């Protein structure tokens, strides 16, 4: 229900794209019911002409040589997978023009310092970084990288996943944002507030607005 609410917000706000920073699924082996609901909701976005851009979190990644469930949705033309196991840079053609995207999927924290060196800044007028990791600024164990190590200033906006509560900071003029999960998954995440971020990249500096969710 809350994922449907996110879709409704996207359609109502006429966004150019929905960006998801990982762990779309809670397991790399989703059951048929989970696939059904994902298909039903994502089809509404597709029919509205809104692409769903996603990077793989650890829950989306198979533990052995197997297919991530994100690829199934991509084959159905419901999502565009930005990266699954290694960094990748791409340029997406959206309704308002081109958007350069540097994508960093989940990697173990001990590898993050080396893997981030593979990330190339996109050659586009507007640039975002989408990554599934834990910032050192959060002050929690097993963090991956700091904002400086991510080279956040190379981008107009940084969209992050893996931390389930809302958190935002800036690096120079670049917003660095965790919208948080759309619902609480355990008692430690219990909160009466859940959000999606509305990001405007049409001006010189990105601006971030928030839409509160109600169905979680």
Q: Which residues neighbour 32 within 8 Å (Cβ) at sequence distance 6 or greater? A: none
Closest CA to 83 of 69, 99, 102, 65: 102
Candidate list 59, 132, 144, 164, residue with the active-site label = 59
Examine the residue annotation and report whether 144 is marked as an active-site residue of this protein.
no
CA 57 remoteness from chain centre: 9
Q: Using N-to-C axis directions, what is the helix angle for 2-13 and 32-47, rounded to 10°?
A: 10
Q: Taking a C-beta distance cutoff of 8 angstroms, is the pair 5, 46 a contact?
A: no
Q: Taking a C-beta distance cutoff of 8 angstroms, is the pair 172, 145 a contact?
A: no
Q: What amino acid positions are annotated as catalytic residues?
A: 59
């Amino acid at each position: 229900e809350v994922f449907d609410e996110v879709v409704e917000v996207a359609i109502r706000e006429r966004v150019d794209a929905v960006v998801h920073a990982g762990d779309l699924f809670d397991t790399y082996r989703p059951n048929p019911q989970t696939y059904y609901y994902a298909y039903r909701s994502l089809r509404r976005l597709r029919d509205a002409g809104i692409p769903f851009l996603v990077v793989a979190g650890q829950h989306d990644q198979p533990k052995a040589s197997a297919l991530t469930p994100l690829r199934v949705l991509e084959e159905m033309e419901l999502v565009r997978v930005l990266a699954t196991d290694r960094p990748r840079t791409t340029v997406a053609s959206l309704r308002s023009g081109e958007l350069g995207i540097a994508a960093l999927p989940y990697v173990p924290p001990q590898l993050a310092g080396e893997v981030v060196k593979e990330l190339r800044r996109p050659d586009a007028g507007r640039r975002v970084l989408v990554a599934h990791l834990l910032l050192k600024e959060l002050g929690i164990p097993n963090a991956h990288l700091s904002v400086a190590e991510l080279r956040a200033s190379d981008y107009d906006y940084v969209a992050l996943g893996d931390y389930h509560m809302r958190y935002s900071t800036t690096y120079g003029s670049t917003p660095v944002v965790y919208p948080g999960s759309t619902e609480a998954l355990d008692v430690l995440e219990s909160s009466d507030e859940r959000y999606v971020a509305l990001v405007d990249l049409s001006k010189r500096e990105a601006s971030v607005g928030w839409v509160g969710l109600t169905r979680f």
